[in-house]
A and B are shown apart, each in its own frame.
Chain A
Amino acid sequence: DTEVTQTPKHLVMGMTNKKSLKCEQHMGHRAMYWYKQKAKKPPELMFVYSYEKLSINESVPSRFSPECPNSSLLNLHLHALQPEDSALYLCASSQDGQGFHEQFFGPGTRLTVL
């Protein structure tokens, strides 16, 4: 199984809503990532988890709150988002450690904030 799954595929939310994005992998990967991709732009790294601990936060606003409840799951909790947060949110996973480790990407959640 080399698949990273993400739910939901699409999400529309208001600025006062609280919602969560979910990501799951069963490849035994111990590094998991959240990326944000705006239209016609490259993915931008938001967070990296290594062995279920947050290792990198790329100065992401606190209205985005990541959580890694176990080695297979990664969540992104959303609260009080702005319309400019509308984007494709991609999850990825990889082996951890030095050297080359392919990042496997999920299909993404397309988020629209009204």
Chain B
Amino acid sequence: GEDVEQSLFLSVREGDSSVINCTYTDSSSTYLYWYKQEPGAGLQLLTYIFSNMDMKQDQRLTVLLNKKDKHLSLRIADTQTGDSAIYFCAESKGAGNMLTFGGGTRLMVKP
């Protein structure tokens, strides 16, 4: 099976909070990331969390990490139509900076 898994699709209304979930299998993951990809574009790093942290907040974004369950989530507060995109979680481990991506969650924000 995949090392990193995400649900395929999430639809929310503008102004609501969005929560995108991710599970990973490798407990030696060092860093976990959330990337955003808009149509036809490359990937933009939104935020990351070191594996010894439980939570990280950055403006509208909150990342929660449950190491025991190997579960990562991204909460977007006050979701806007401009937040519509595909969101990838990713992990890296050990030396170097090799990323393993989840399958991506397509977030659709309805006005």
Residue numbers of A with Cβ under 8 A of B are 4, 31, 40-45, 48, 55-56, 90, 92, 94, 96, 98, 100-108, 110
Q: B107 CB to closest chain A CB, in angstroms?
A: 14
Query: Given contacts A42-B88, A42-B104, are A108 and B42 in contact (CB under 8 A)?
Result: yes
Across chains A and B, which 7 residue pairs bring their CB atoms closest together, nearest first? A42-B101, A105-B42, A105-B43, A107-B42, A101-B97, A98-B95, A106-B42
Q: For the complex, what is the distance from the CA of A101 to the CA of B45, rounded to whole Å?
A: 11
Q: B residues bordering A, Cβ < 8 Å?
A: 31, 40-45, 48, 50, 88, 95-99, 101-104
Please pick, from A103, A106, A107, the residue contacting B97 in the complex, using a CB distance under 8 A: A103
Measured CA separation A28–B41 after assembly (Å): 23
A100: chain B residues within 8 A (beta carbon): 31, 48, 50
Known contacts A100-B48, A107-B42; is-contact A31 B97 (Cβ 8 Å): yes
| Nearest-CB residue, chain B, relative to A6 | B42
Besides the contacts A48-B98, A100-B50, what 12 more A-B pairs have beta carbons closer than 8 Å?
A41-B104, A42-B88, A42-B103, A45-B98, A48-B96, A90-B43, A100-B48, A101-B97, A102-B48, A103-B97, A103-B99, A108-B42
The B interface, classified by DSSP as helix, strand, loop or mixed, is loop
Q: CA A46 – CA B68 in complex, angstroms?
A: 31
Please give the distance in Å from B61's CB to the nearest CB on chain A. 15
How far, in angstroms, from A98 to B96 measured CA to CA in the complex? 6
Give the shortest distance, in Å, between A13 (CB) and chain B (any CB).
19
Residues of B contacting A40 in the complex (Cβ-Cβ under 8 angstroms): 104
Give the shortest distance, in Å, between B81 (CB) and chain A (any CB): 21
Contacts of A43 in B (CB 8 A): 43, 88, 99, 101
Cα-based distance from A76 to B48 in the complex (angstroms): 29
Across-interface contacts of A92 in B (CB, < 8 A): 42-43
9 pairs from A and B in contact (CB 8 Å cutoff) = A42-B104, A48-B96, A55-B96, A92-B42, A92-B43, A94-B97, A98-B96, A103-B99, A107-B42
Closest to A56 in B: B98
Q: Which residues of A contact B45 (CB under 8 A)?
A: 102-104
| Interface hub of B41, B42, B98 (most chain A Cβ within 10 A) | B42
